[in-house]
Structure 1
């Protein structure tokens, strides 16, 4: 356990009691600083935006890049109050909106349901809000952090409210499918590049992107409906939008399903491009014979 990690957690616990406008202001300053000094990560963001939005001007892409670093910093600092502030404060700052039938079923239903939660910066806020609104068992998949202290802190934060089960990717699909078949919820974030193993290449903004086909497979194996969740950082906290369940998903073609997932994700991103997780090297794994893009 590093001293830095322990001090970082102490800092986040202290930040939980800072007024939101002050915390967000600090996040804005920090985000602008990161955009200036984090040159390798800024290069990743700039490359992603140039690949995905060639029709936008260079000035527009620079604006999105600057904003996305601010959202990175603000959303990270927001985990302080999400995981440590009194429950009444958390509830006040999280607003669940959208499809009333899906919200009701998520809270009180018993049918298996996959919550497709793309990597917008409010993903942890969305998970917290949704687990606060249901007593149903909810499973989420996570990647273990190198520092055990940080790993425990993140896991405890994500399990703070509701009946949440956190599974490591190495535990396989059996407990995930079993949880769905028992009428549970699965909070799934399959829109990142996890390498070449067990992935398919499908278009994302017209570029072949290595994508895990888990949304289609889990929906089929768990006999679950898919409900998209789009989280938006706002001046007063977060809006978590629950969209109508997909009616044409899954099909018998896992590759077509995964391509459809990316296509629909593009529509969500286009509505607020600055809030998507462009700091990730989404195109790091290339099809055989293609050159690296980063």
Structure 2
């Protein structure tokens, strides 16, 4: 069984290598096609549950169309990842442009947390930031599949040589990187379980949310700069927002609410591009059932 999984992984890598040889528009079309297939063959259930919880007043037919649009965009982003794994630097970097990069320039010498919510383009926006602003850092979770782990890791470090920290290294390693002057690319908007989390609203739903963003900002004396990657018709745009003022405020719950409110505002601008395939509401307050359990 292990041999079969390994062979399947290598076949997947070979497919992505061949895919990157196509014109970018063709790669996008293939990705949208695979996203449609993934949705049609049962992978869309989690997205539909998430959308029903976040947009209960939206007609079901409209929510289903939104879930399908999400999978098409997600499939395209995954297919275009092949360019970042195997393509020329000029081609990969040319797919992404940065808007508002002057906010990073103005904070040189200051610890900066790049708060990057889980929009589907973040794995393409991150390398662009690493390329334009060398010396970044981020968290990397080792994958169980060694083939996938190798290529995911190499894809992250091809441009700009970011420092990848293991999640097991904890807060101290992150604070050290921040104090070294690195931009820390941080993605705190996933369900990591109850540990170090509190329940705050996300689209009105009590949501288990890690408190690491304000805690890290306080410990390192860092500025928080929200950064969102949007998938466009012909590539990706990384929008660097102004650094948050009066953050952290000293009220952890209020600071985490501010984080979720910002994400909500961005989701409403491009609802199909938030990562709805993640079981964001799996951890529930005591007495509430897991909404994904069949």
TM-score of the superposed pair, with normalisation by structure 1: 0.94
Match of 1:104 in 2: 105
1:134 aligns with 2:133: yes
Match of 2:15 in 1: 11
Q: Secondary structure at the match of 2:44?
A: helix
Aligned match of 1:46 in 37, 45, 48? 48
Match of 1:156 in 2: 154
- Cα deviations by residue, 1:201-227 (Å, 9 ceiling, x for unpaired): 111111111111111111111111011
Match of 1:266 in 2: 264
Runs of 4+ in 1 over 6 A off after TM superposition: none
Q: Secondary structure at the match of 1:195?
A: coil
Displacement of 1:110: 2.1
Match of 1:33 in 2: 37
Displacement of 1:163: 3.2
Displacement of 1:100: 4.9
Indicate conservation of the 8 Å contact 2:44/2:68, yes or no: no
Give the aligned length.
288
Indicate conservation of the 8 Å contact 2:85/2:151, yes or no: no
- Distance (Å, rounded) in 2 between the aligned partners of 1:121 and 1:23: 16
- Distance (Å, rounded) in 1 between the aligned partners of 2:236 and 2:51: 24
- Cα deviations by residue, 1:76-134 (Å, 9 ceiling, x for unpaired): 1111002221111112211111x35314346xx22110100000000111101101101
TM-score of the superposed pair, with normalisation by structure 2: 0.94
Aligned match of 1:92 in 85, 91, 94? 94
Gaps spanning 5+ residues in structure 1: where? none
- Distance (Å, rounded) in 2 between the aligned partners of 1:141 and 1:92: 25
Match of 2:84 in 1: 82
Match of 1:199 in 2: 197
Q: Secondary structure at the match of 1:163?
A: coil
- Distance (Å, rounded) in 2 between the aligned partners of 1:238 and 1:264: 20
Displacement of 1:258: 0.8
